[in-house]
Amino acid sequence: MRFGLIIPHRHSYVLPSTFSPSCFCVNFFPQNHNNNLNLPFPVGKGKISCCSKSEVLKSDLMEPKAEALVVNKSRTLYSPIDPYSTGNLKVSDVHTLYFEQSGKPDGHPVVFLHGGPGGGTSPNNRRFFDPEFYRIILFDQRGAGKSTPHACLEENTTWDLVNDIEKLREHLKIPEWQVFGGSWGSTLALAYSQSHPDKVTGLVLRGIFLLRKKEIDWFYEGGAAAIYPDAWEEFRDLIPENERGSLVDAYHKRLDSDDMETRYAAARAWTKWEMATAYLLPNNDNIQKAEDDKFSLAFARIENHYFVNKGFFPSDSYLLDNVDKIRHIKTTIVQGRYDVCCPMMSAWDLHKAWPEAELKIVDDAGHSANEPGIAAELVAANEKMKALMG
């Protein structure tokens, strides 16, 4: 259900240049600091801020621009970069992970946790981070992207992935690192941080997903259908009426079928439903990703596997119940108010349990990290982390 932080290759967007007049803004950085980082940041009560009504034309949202992304010389996605190293790490008898490093080899390490599960990484995920400050580590989780075997469910659980992150950290000889994750990546970031709080220097989370039953039911059992009835009917109608008591279970049966065409048909329908709902304004390029059978099979099959198994968590509220373990970690949560995939109730519940974490609500955005307001806040959160780390 959770789509990762992916900016289309060679694309950039004009990001919002203003906030609602109701938001009072201050600068995070002193006047003698790098002017490109001296961002006006809204300040609300406590640590909640709302940023709204980006002055961006629809054409700017839907049609990527070729020129550099600039908003008042700030909140800018960094220029595309290539990795300075890539590799494969064998983490079990079954699985081998693809990983890469870019940016500054001796910089502050940050690990990017992609969405899905099963979504994989993209070259443009590197662009949320200053390459002159950060050592940027991306990897594809088990069964996703360039990791092998593709779309494999064997030995593929949340706790396997948590262990993989540690194995990668140790392999790269990194004492501790910043963790950045959106959607399912936020779920995994919370699970990892709660398991290894001494290894995390800071958290940037987006589109919070706590993998609770009510979140799964909202998106896959009819709640979100009230907003997207047209897209929902196509998703629902793949399943016969007598099996619609649980669409997640019905899709699981098909995604695990011995017949590959049955698997592919279910994967395309599952993926298209999520891609159609990921933006505040539906994005046709995003929806077309469902037609890529290799991507869809990993995305749908691994997601569904995790959801059928309730995230492999011992209780529905596990991540909220264990917030005390990470309460001390500097954290920013970025949430689109109109996120249909991961509705804001989850970010709100997390913030209430963890008021020390700063919550940035983007009032004119949905789920995708590609949306201008969300992308701007993610870059700004990393810039703030830089200042906190000196």
Helices (H), the chain: 58-62, 158-171, 184-195, 213-220, 229-236, 247-255, 260-277, 284-288, 293-308, 318-321, 344-353, 372-389
Query: Cα separation of 283 and 285, whole Å?
Result: 6
Closest CA to 153 of 188, 117, 129: 117
Residue 339 appears among annotated catalytic residues: yes
**Angle of CA points 345, 290, 119, to nearest 5°:** 60
Cα distances (angstroms) measured from residue 328 to each of 47, 171, 188, 203: 15, 26, 18, 11
Q: What is the DSSP letter of 65?
A: B
Closest CA to 48 of 320, 357, 326: 357
Element (H, E) at 361: strand 358-362
Closest CA to 207 of 32, 2, 56: 2
Helix 247-255, helix 213-220: angle, nearest 10:
80
Query: Cα separation of 10 and 268, whole Å?
Result: 25
Token pair, residue 76, equals 């800018």
**Residue 87, SS3 per DSSP:** strand
Identity of residue 32: N
Cβ atoms of 376 and 350 within 8 Å: the answer is no
Q: What are phi and psi of 139, to 5 degrees?
A: -150, 155
Phi-psi domain of 221 (left: phi exceeds 0; alpha: psi -120 through 50; beta: other): alpha
Residue 108 appears among annotated catalytic residues: no
**Among the options 49, 183, 195, 368, which is catalytic?**
183
**Among the options 95, 108, 114, 367, which is catalytic?**
367
**Among the options 339, 346, 364, 368, which is catalytic?**
339
Query: Cα separation of 338 and 353, whole Å?
Result: 21
Residue 316 appears among annotated catalytic residues: no
Catalytic residue set? 183, 339, 367
